[in-house]
């Protein structure tokens, strides 16, 4: 296990154990970062899984066919820079097997970094991501949220206003119901349920990925490059793009 301090008050951990690879620890001390990142743009990858079935089961959002033979569990926090690195790297290897019906991805959206870093961006983002399910645009918005993550995780950028600006770049997402859910924090209880799922599963950091509940191969950097993660999936019996 490698442990290092990253940013202000955040602890980074990289570990390979029982199919789990993690980077941002749920420990750490609070340090308030401020400032809103205002520039938004369309995200090329945001439509990669558009049209894939999406459903909510307790504190988990699942993308993919319910009867897919393989399950990949992904634990993320919107403010975790390593989650952004995973989404822009290894996660791309999941697109084809999900689209082909071979894999379903179960997302648990955690919000522990607000306590570690100060602010409410993780909770705000989790609430908005849940609202995007009802609007039928979760995969697209999920990609856009991570693409617009600030370079410094201590910056509490994910205000409701900023999340709505990001949503404005996702076709068909903005509307009265979605905007109200974001501004009112309509899924606050669900955000708590997702965090409970995170803790109940014994997860202590993000991104954490579990493939069919079994140990995944690869070193600590295997999640952060598409080709490398495709090899991890292949060893688990999943043919992925690379």
Mean residue pLDDT of the chain comes to 85
pLDDT for residue 18 is more than 50: no
Q: Does residue 158 contact residue 124 with C-beta atoms inside 8 Å?
A: yes
Q: Which domain holds residue 122?
A: 40-226
Mean pLDDT across 107-129: 98
Return the closest-CA partner of residue 98 out of 29, 39, 52: 52
CATH number at residue 182: 3.40.30.10
Q: Does residue 140 contact residue 47 with C-beta atoms inside 8 Å?
A: yes
Provide the token pair at 230: 């495709």
Q: Is residue 154 part of a domain?
A: yes
Amino acid 6: pLDDT: 35
Q: For the chain, how far is it from start to end, CA to CA, in angstroms?
A: 27
Mean pLDDT across 79-96: 95
Return the closest-CA partner of residue 105 out of 45, 60, 47: 60
Q: Is residue 107 part of a domain?
A: yes
Q: Is residue 50 part of a domain?
A: yes
Q: What is the pTM of this model?
A: 0.86
pLDDT for residue 122 is more than 90: yes
Q: Does residue 40 contact residue 166 with C-beta atoms inside 8 Å?
A: yes
Mean pLDDT across 195-209: 95
Q: Is residue 83 part of a domain?
A: yes
Count of structural domains within the chain: 1
Amino acid 216: pLDDT: 60
Amino acid 174: pLDDT: 98
Amino acid 40: pLDDT: 72
Backbone angles phi, psi at 116, to 5 degrees: -70, -35
Provide the token pair at 108: 């648990």
Mean pLDDT across 152-159: 92
């Amino acid at each position: 296990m490698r442990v290092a301090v990253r940013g202000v008050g955040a602890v980074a951990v990289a570990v390979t154990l029982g199919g789990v690879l993690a980077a941002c620890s749920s420990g750490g001390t609070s340090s308030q970062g401020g400032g809103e990142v205002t520039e938004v743009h369309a995200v090329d990858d945001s439509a990669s899984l558009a049209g894939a079935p999406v459903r909510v089961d307790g504190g988990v959002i699942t993308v993919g066919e319910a009867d897919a033979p393989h399950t990949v569990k992904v634990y993320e926090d919107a403010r975790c820079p390593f989650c952004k690195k995973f989404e822009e790297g290894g996660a791309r290897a999941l697109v084809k097997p999900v689209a082909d019906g071979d894999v379903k991805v179960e997302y648990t959206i955690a919000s522990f970094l607000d306590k570690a870093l100060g602010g409410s961006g993780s909770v705000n983002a989790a609430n908005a991501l849940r609202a995007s399910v009802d609007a039928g645009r979760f995969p697209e918005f999920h990609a856009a949220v991570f693409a617009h993550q600030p370079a410094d995780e201590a910056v509490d950028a994910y205000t409701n206003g900023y999340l709505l600006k990001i949503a404005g770049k996702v076709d068909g997402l903005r509307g009265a119901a979605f905007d109200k859910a974001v501004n009112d924090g309509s899924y606050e209880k669900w955000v708590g349920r997702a965090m409970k799922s995170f803790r109940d599963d014994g997860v202590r950091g993000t991104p954490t990925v579990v493939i069919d509940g079994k140990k995944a191969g690869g070193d600590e950097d295997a999640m952060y490059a598409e080709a490398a993660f495709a090899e991890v999936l292949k060893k688990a019996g999943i043919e992925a793009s690379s």
